[in-house]
Amino acid sequence: MKTLSLYILKETILYFLVSLFSFVGILLVLRILKLTNLIVNKGVAFSQVVQVFISIVPTFLEFALPLSALLGVMLAFARLSGDSEIVVIRASGISLYQLLRPVFIFGILAFLLTLFVSHDLKPWGHKKLSQSLFEIAQSRSTAGLSPGVFNELGNMTLYAQEIQYDTGGLSKVLIDDRRSTEERKVITARSGKIISNPSNETITFLLTDGEIHEQVEGKYVLTRYKTNRIHFGANDLYQTQETNERGRPRSLTDSEIQNELSELSRPQPTADLPQDAIDTLNAASTEGPPLLSATERQKRVRQLKIEQAQRWSLPFAALLLALTAMPLGIHPPRTQKTWGVGLSATVGLLVFVVYFAMLSIGITLAESGAISALLAAWLPNIVVSLFALYAIRKMGTEKWSSFGQAASDGIASLKNWGPLRLVFGEREAPC
């Protein structure tokens, strides 16, 4: 039995690694064109692109690992089914319950690996990615811009008909400056140039022959200029007010999330101020995180709690999906040889899509405050657990010979259900 367990564990790990590298490779290929464009067309140093490339991988491993664990077990048992090894194992008196041991061991390994990614590697990846993009923004402020379209730059929008990536030159420029809600400006210019100063983290827009459209004390004011210099901090240009100081929840460590939750739980003297007053205070303040209104604080707390719950639910999902995959991966040898690994891969992807859909719907409801963050993160795991227990019990007692046979019997029983019999009709017995 020990030899059989090691054999199954080896097969499972092999297919897990194949699935993981395939999934990661597909996601990276989708980013290659954009990274190549940064090097070839926008003058970003290759070393900076490599940093971005390395930082991207941990950001999607949190979902790639549970999916790969699911496919790894399914493909391993599909291969055993196709070679009739499952039939031989059953004929020798070995119960499928006994085959759970290597699957459970593999699930624990997948759980620990996903746990490390969720709590340590993912926050590092998001933080490193933000830092790398920030360095690119400082050294090549035009790298993230595209000509002829409206580019969202934090609390500003920039349009330039032409962009010279080597010199930072711009032509036919329009800037919508929304950094201050009370002094919103629309600035136009015949030409301009972006000058980046990495030493003091400032970026200057040197504009010529243009106009400034703004509203001052309720009156429309038009100012024409020959030369105009607009100075921006890099934070103003490439980060929104929400993520400037507080950071996105997924880039925060566990201790940072807990500290911020403790901070937000304390009453703020500005909680009852109107939004325009809070915007004015934030515009005047240069240090510390931005002040939040009562509504914004509630939204931020929900986001942090969702992230906190997800960092535990997804590692458990890797274990639960691995256990679920065993009964799903067993098929009759003839069926498996006819359809090949495509059958198991398709079923596995459908299961993960259903799981991800439940998780996404739950998160959306939790962000709106309709349900708690714990329920949103753990409800898909509860559903998967119940299905896994039911399927394993049916397969272990040999009431199901395979999941495909069980699905066929279920469809047949459904057709015999009263109301549906009227739709499909009753077949006459042959004479």
Q: Check residue 144 and give its pLDDT.
A: 65
CA distance 142 to 237: 11
CA distance 99 to 335: 21
CA distance 65 to 384: 16
CA distance 154 to 407: 51
Tell me if 71 sits within 8 A of 16, measured CB to CB: yes
**Residue whose entry in the numeric block shows the structure tokens 């008196």:** 93
pTM equals 0.72
Tell me if 11 sits within 8 A of 80, measured CB to CB: yes
pLDDT at 347 over 70: yes
Q: Beta-carbon neighbour count of residue 341 at 10 Å?
A: 16
Tell me if 211 sits within 8 A of 222, measured CB to CB: yes
Q: Check residue 44 and give its pLDDT.
A: 66
Q: Check residue 93 and give its pLDDT.
A: 82
- Find the mean pLDDT for residues 31-37: 67
- Find the mean pLDDT for residues 353-367: 95
- Find the mean pLDDT for residues 133-140: 64
pLDDT tens for 161-187 read 998 887 889 999 999 888 776 678 899
pLDDT at 397 over 80: no
Higher confidence at residue 276 or residue 10?
10
Work out the percent of the chain whose per-residue pLDDT is above 70.
73
Rounded CA Rg of the chain: 29
Q: Check residue 286 and give its pLDDT.
A: 42
Q: Beta-carbon neighbour count of residue 191 at 10 Å?
A: 16
- 232-241, 263-272, 305-314: lowest mean pLDDT where? 232-241
pLDDT tens for 318-343 read 999 999 999 888 877 777 666 667 77
CA distance 88 to 108: 27
